[in-house]
Chains A and B, each alone.
Chain A
């Protein structure tokens, strides 16, 4: 199986869907002539032209609004945000327009839009460029939220997201774009709402999504080699819809859970998972649910301190050892 970069896997997903469905269109700042700020759409404008790959002015409110309207009329726009952090200026379009139209129209109007882009800290771009808004958006009934940890998942999930008839918020990560992973040639789809067990284990369940999955896997490796603790790593892949059963089944097996989350802890995704485990698997817990999140502060800009904000294998190991 070819090893390809995360950005290349996404690029394949776009190309395949553009060719499959004439309604699929890529829209965003610099996605066309410049090949995308992070080169995710490289070569697509040249290949498919102005009608399928569209550059926009620097106004998220305007172009996200345009995409939402286009989707209501039958197109399947894939909107790139240079950073998910900039979604805040398009909040009305995303939450009120995209998120509520199907409900408000009594099911008459669908909004099959994908909004995508990097949503991560840890790259020294400052607090206004480093948000991880999957928890903000997953809090809204009507929106779907996806986060892929590797190239294989990114491609399969993106193709499903494009075909989905509801607005899907697709969280990428600039630190993952260059990461290679085995991706089969030819078409495959990964359904939304199905978590993936990235590593099997018996002593504790690590639940995470996005790049935190890789951090959890590193910690699991060290815990197995040096501390004789066997971790099961569950990758949520989709925050909403949420695969509760896979998480609960794993916790019922290991009886312990540590949730690893690049969200800030307050009202983070892991807070939701923690509450779910407590409510639905209380009698199976042999220890309190632990969380390892980003430190609860605006994204730190100082390069000396920044590496300590996101979850690290070391912090995960310490938390696991506290409860194992």
Chain B
């Protein structure tokens, strides 16, 4: 049977880390057994074995990384010999435990980057220049980890950054009392994607103060009823998500992506919800949010957030979003601006509901409940007036929340 290879567990995954081997060399394996836990850029997932056999080789030790498709282990059926697999296994790129076990173990290959020079083929360099993509940080699959043509990402992909990249900002070397924290896959993905977004997407920002009085009153009434019925409480964010789904459905030009030579407007409204987790954040997706009821949205968010914190999300549950909502209201933040979550074109930043003096329709100063909602958008896709119209729709929905219950 073929060797076990690093599975592709998410659409952005290019390499994975063996978090833990659940079986050891020599173990008998039955189809369905969990061989290992794989840490991707998003989550830690269990890797199942699909065949019966014996785990005869582990090529990448725990802690080691391997590119998607690289051989990481060998499970042989009874009577099968290792000779039937002719190709060399993956060389672990970095593994704390991958110390040479004997003098015969060849030294680990040098990484593609030595000093500040990226080792890349002339063709890869030419293609990268044409695509406006930086070679820095790319995993080279050529000999000696050289970056070759097929390693260069497509224009506009997450890893693509401007060819005329700014000079590198060098960190001060860690000294006594400082801590150097190795990057998790999630940390690196956040860094790559947000740097790419800030460098490539021309951001602009709009802010609107929304009267949250009606929303607060409705929420109190519904929660009182829910409490009596033993149902979970509704959060402010549940209402916001409900409103964003409906507003985005009315403004398809917001629910869109820059496609290089076209703009893609999505048929469904899938809201990515930013959830803070231990070592970063992840954005599980509420699919078809414009078609869901308040109750359904509330239940979906609770479930996704809980499993996100436990790192139990499946890849399809955090991919395919079309617009993102980030809410820091719980921390008392009144207003902030988020970085667009590529390849989406818009992200909403929701602040806290605060009591403040406001002038009402009768020109009286009264106590108002206000929430500030800020839109960050990719100007290639969304123009200022379009963004403003969307926020105006969103404001009307939040200010008249009962309308959304039908």
User: Which residues of chain B come closer than 8 Å to A282, judged between CB atoms?
Assistant: 122
Q: Does A187 contact B (CB under 8 A)?
A: no
- Cα–Cα, bound, A230→B331 (Å): 60
Closest chain A residue to B87, Cβ basis: A227
Contact at A285–B143, with CB atoms within 8 Å? Answer: no
User: Which residues of chain B come closer than 8 Å to A287, judged between CB atoms?
Assistant: 121, 142-143, 146, 148
Binary B-proximity of A309-324 (CB < 8 A = 1, otherwise 0): 0000000000000110
- Minimum CB–CB distance from A230 to chain B (whole Å) comes to 15
- Scan residues 243-285 of chain A and give those whose CB is less than 8 A from a CB of chain B: 255, 282-285
- Minimum CB–CB distance from B105 to chain A (whole Å) comes to 21
Contact at B143–A322, with CB atoms within 8 Å? Answer: yes
Contact at A286–B124, with CB atoms within 8 Å? Answer: yes
User: Which residues of chain B come closer than 8 Å to A284, judged between CB atoms?
Assistant: 122-123, 126
Binary B-proximity of A107-118 (CB < 8 A = 1, otherwise 0): 000000000000
User: Which residues of chain A come closer than 8 Å to B58, judged between CB atoms?
Assistant: none
Closest chain B residue to A282, Cβ basis: B122
Contact at B143–A283, with CB atoms within 8 Å? Answer: no
- Minimum CB–CB distance from B124 to chain A (whole Å) comes to 7
- Cα–Cα, bound, A253→B125 (Å): 17
- Minimum CB–CB distance from B293 to chain A (whole Å) comes to 53
Q: Does B149 contact A (CB under 8 A)?
A: yes
| A-B pairs under 8 A by CB, number | 27
Number of B residues near A (Cβ < 8 Å) is 11
User: Which residues of chain A come closer than 8 Å to B126, judged between CB atoms?
Assistant: 283-284
Closest chain A residue to B142, Cβ basis: A287
> Dominant SS at the B interface?
helix
Closest chain A residue to B147, Cβ basis: A286
User: Which residues of chain B come closer than 8 Å to A322, judged between CB atoms?
Assistant: 143
Contact at A255–B149, with CB atoms within 8 Å? Answer: yes
- Scan residues 110-133 of chain A and give those whose CB is less than 8 A from a CB of chain B: none
- Cα–Cα, bound, A286→B148 (Å): 6
- Minimum CB–CB distance from A318 to chain B (whole Å) comes to 13
- Minimum CB–CB distance from B81 to chain A (whole Å) comes to 18
- Scan residues 106-136 of chain B and give those whose CB is less than 8 A from a CB of chain A: 121-126
- Minimum CB–CB distance from B355 to chain A (whole Å) comes to 64
User: Which residues of chain A come closer than 8 Å to B149, judged between CB atoms?
Assistant: 255, 286
- Cα–Cα, bound, A142→B397 (Å): 88
User: Which residues of chain A come closer than 8 Å to B146, judged between CB atoms?
Assistant: 287
Q: Which residue, of B121, B124, B126, B143, has the highest number of chain A Cβ atoms within 10 A?
A: B121
Contact at B143–A255, with CB atoms within 8 Å? Answer: no
User: Which residues of chain B come closer than 8 Å to A283, judged between CB atoms?
Assistant: 122-123, 125-126
- Minimum CB–CB distance from B314 to chain A (whole Å) comes to 33
- Cα–Cα, bound, A141→B121 (Å): 34
- Cα–Cα, bound, A323→B124 (Å): 14
- Minimum CB–CB distance from A202 to chain B (whole Å) comes to 13
- Cα–Cα, bound, A323→B121 (Å): 11
Closest chain A residue to B149, Cβ basis: A286
- Minimum CB–CB distance from A161 to chain B (whole Å) comes to 37
- Cα–Cα, bound, A249→B384 (Å): 50
Q: Which residue, of B123, B124, B149, has the highest number of chain A Cβ atoms within 10 A?
A: B123
Closest chain B residue to A278, Cβ basis: B122
Closest chain A residue to B129, Cβ basis: A283
- Minimum CB–CB distance from A104 to chain B (whole Å) comes to 42
Closest chain B residue to A287, Cβ basis: B121
User: Which residues of chain A come closer than 8 Å to B121, judged between CB atoms?
Assistant: 285-287
- Cα–Cα, bound, A285→B146 (Å): 13
- Minimum CB–CB distance from A255 to chain B (whole Å) comes to 5
User: Which residues of chain A come closer than 8 Å to B148, judged between CB atoms?
Assistant: 286-287
- Cα–Cα, bound, A177→B403 (Å): 93
Closest chain A residue to B146, Cβ basis: A287
Binary A-proximity of B133-174 (CB < 8 A = 1, otherwise 0): 000000000110010110000000000000000000000000
- Cα–Cα, bound, A287→B125 (Å): 12
User: Which residues of chain A come closer than 8 Å to B124, judged between CB atoms?
Assistant: 286
Closest chain B residue to A284, Cβ basis: B123
- Minimum CB–CB distance from B125 to chain A (whole Å) comes to 8
- Minimum CB–CB distance from A16 to chain B (whole Å) comes to 47
- Cα–Cα, bound, A323→B148 (Å): 10
Binary A-proximity of B256-281 (CB < 8 A = 1, otherwise 0): 00000000000000000000000000
Contact at A286–B143, with CB atoms within 8 Å? Answer: no
- Cα–Cα, bound, A32→B149 (Å): 58
Q: Identify 9 new A-B residue pairs, CB closer than 8 A, beyond the known A283-B123, A284-B123, A287-B143.
A: A255-B123, A285-B121, A286-B121, A286-B148, A286-B149, A287-B121, A287-B146, A287-B148, A323-B143
17 contacts between A and B (CB under 8 A): A255-B123, A283-B122, A283-B123, A283-B125, A284-B122, A285-B121, A286-B121, A286-B122, A286-B142, A286-B148, A286-B149, A287-B121, A287-B142, A287-B146, A287-B148, A322-B143, A323-B143
9 cross-chain pairs, A with B, having the tightest CB-CB distances, nearest first? A286-B123, A283-B126, A286-B121, A286-B149, A285-B122, A283-B122, A282-B122, A286-B148, A255-B123
The residues of A with any CB-CB pair to B shorter than 8 Å are: 255, 282-287, 322-323
